[in-house]
């Protein structure tokens, strides 16, 4: 299986080894279909996630302290090796409650990412919006090494500071990189990341961060590279009180064994979704909503609590390392 330069945006970086691997895959008649390459990107498929079904969530082996490869990393199914997410800025609370990493590489080579979309889903007649399903695939160790080599080198994380927030823009989001590989364990926060940073000593590394961000946030090249739907095993459910309005027909409380007390609130500082009533829900609890197409989550479903209070229900899929 070729290395993950398949997903890169590195013009001119295709190595003789990669070319040989691609030729070998084509000659062997790989089960995954090849895709058309553009001059700026080599594109060959990775393995879909194991499990026999495109909708099957990959199992998460126990965390392992072992390290493999030239760039050492843990190998457990819940070990985060590389991640990107966005946070901060002025955003609606619905967005905050559904915020999630855009890309995660786990220690066993499984990746989970949010596909890049040009048009966001629209609410249905009840005001509820179903999210675009996340995607998953599995990288082999050569592909993992190639991705980590890029992230720590040309992507800038190897020598990065922890923070690039000073002099930023207050209402702009932060891009947050996490890496645990090659003896490096760090989180790097970059405010107002853009393709053309303002001049200054941090401009070169900001450009490197942008290249890495672009690679991770469009990892399947707009859907041209094969992957499977990620089927989460748990969701975070958040209840946000809302007002009644004409024509709104809220869903009756669907959980006979749950009360509002089972949706505790966190610190009342407005710092995150757990400020509101929330709960980690298993698939059987989500199934009581009797709705399909929830793999990508849900926003704005009107639901009436047993005490008559009207809430908007938000569901956010949880990743393999997330317990709440």
In a domain, 23, yes or no: no
Q: Please state at what angle helix 141-152 crosses helix 203-217, rounded to 10 degrees.
A: 150
In a domain, 26, yes or no: no
Do residues 49 and 126 both lie within one domain? yes
Low-confidence ranges of the chain (pLDDT < 70): 1-69, 89-96, 126, 268-274
Structure tokens of 273?
């979704």
pLDDT at position 30 is 34
In a domain, 79, yes or no: yes
Specify the 3-state DSSP secondary structure of 27: helix
Residue pLDDT, tens place only, 288-306: 999 999 999 999 999 999 9
Do residues 259 and 285 both lie within one domain? yes
According to DSSP H, which parts of 61-138 are helical? 93-98
Number of structural domains (the chain) is 2
Instruction: Point out the domain boundary residue: 217, 247, 270.
Output: 217
Do residues 240 and 142 both lie within one domain? no
Strands (E), the chain: 47-48, 80-87, 103-106, 110-113, 129-130, 135-138, 163-164, 174-181, 184-191, 228-229, 234-241, 251-252, 278-282, 298-304, 310-317
pLDDT at position 93 is 65
Do residues 209 and 293 both lie within one domain? no
What whole-number distance in Å separates Cα of residue 322 and Cα of residue 284? 18
In a domain, 301, yes or no: yes
pLDDT at position 315 is 95
Do residues 267 and 121 both lie within one domain? no
pTM: 0.79
In a domain, 14, yes or no: no
Do residues 163 and 310 both lie within one domain? no
Instruction: Point out the domain boundary residue: 151, 185, 217.
Output: 217
What whole-number distance in Å separates Cα of residue 101 and Cα of residue 112? 9
CATH number at residue 69: 3.30.1560
Q: Which domain holds residue 246?
A: 232-317
Contacts of residue 254, defined as CB under 8 A and 6 or more positions apart, other chains included, come to: 288, 289, 290, 303
DSSP structure string for 161-204: -SEE-TT--TTSPEEEEEEEETTEEEEEEEET--SSPPSSTTHH
């Amino acid at each position: 299986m070729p290395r993950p330069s398949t997903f890169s945006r590195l013009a001119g970086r295709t190595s003789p080894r990669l070319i040989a691997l691609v030729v070998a895959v084509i000659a062997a008649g790989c089960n995954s279909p090849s895709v058309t390459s553009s001059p700026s990107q080599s594109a060959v498929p990775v393995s879909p996630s194991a499990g026999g079904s495109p909708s099957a969530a990959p199992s998460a082996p126990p965390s392992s302290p072992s390290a493999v490869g030239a760039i050492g990393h843990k190998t457990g199914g819940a070990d985060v090796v590389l991640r990107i997410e966005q946070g901060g800025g002025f955003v609606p609370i619905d967005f905050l409650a559904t915020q999630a990493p855009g890309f995660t590489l786990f220690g066993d080579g499984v990746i989970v990412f949010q596909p890049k979309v040009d048009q966001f889903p629209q609410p249905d007649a009840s005001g509820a919006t179903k999210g675009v399903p996340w995607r998953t695939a599995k990288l082999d160790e050569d592909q993992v090494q190639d991705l980590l080599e890029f992230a720590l080198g040309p992507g800038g994380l190897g020598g990065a500071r922890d923070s690039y927030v000073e002099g930023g823009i207050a209402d702009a989001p932060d891009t947050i990189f996490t890496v645990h590989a090659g003896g490096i364990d760090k989180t790097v926060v970059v405010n107002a990341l853009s393709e053309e940073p303002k001049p200054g000593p941090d401009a070169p590394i900001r450009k490197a961060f942008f290249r890495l961000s672009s690679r991770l946030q469009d990892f399947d090249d707009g859907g041209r590279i094969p992957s499977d739907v990620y089927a989460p095993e748990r969701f975070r459910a958040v209840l946000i009180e809302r007002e009644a309005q004409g024509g709104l027909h809220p869903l009756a409380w669907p959980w006979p064994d749950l009360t509002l007390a089972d949706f505790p609130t966190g610190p009342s500082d407005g710092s995150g979704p757990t400020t509101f009533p929330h709960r980690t829900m298993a698939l059987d609890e989500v199934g009581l909503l009797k709705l399909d197409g929830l793999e990508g989550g849900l926003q704005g479903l009107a639901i009436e609590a047993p005490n008559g209070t009207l809430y908007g229900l938000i569901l956010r899929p949880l990743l393999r390392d997330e317990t709440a």
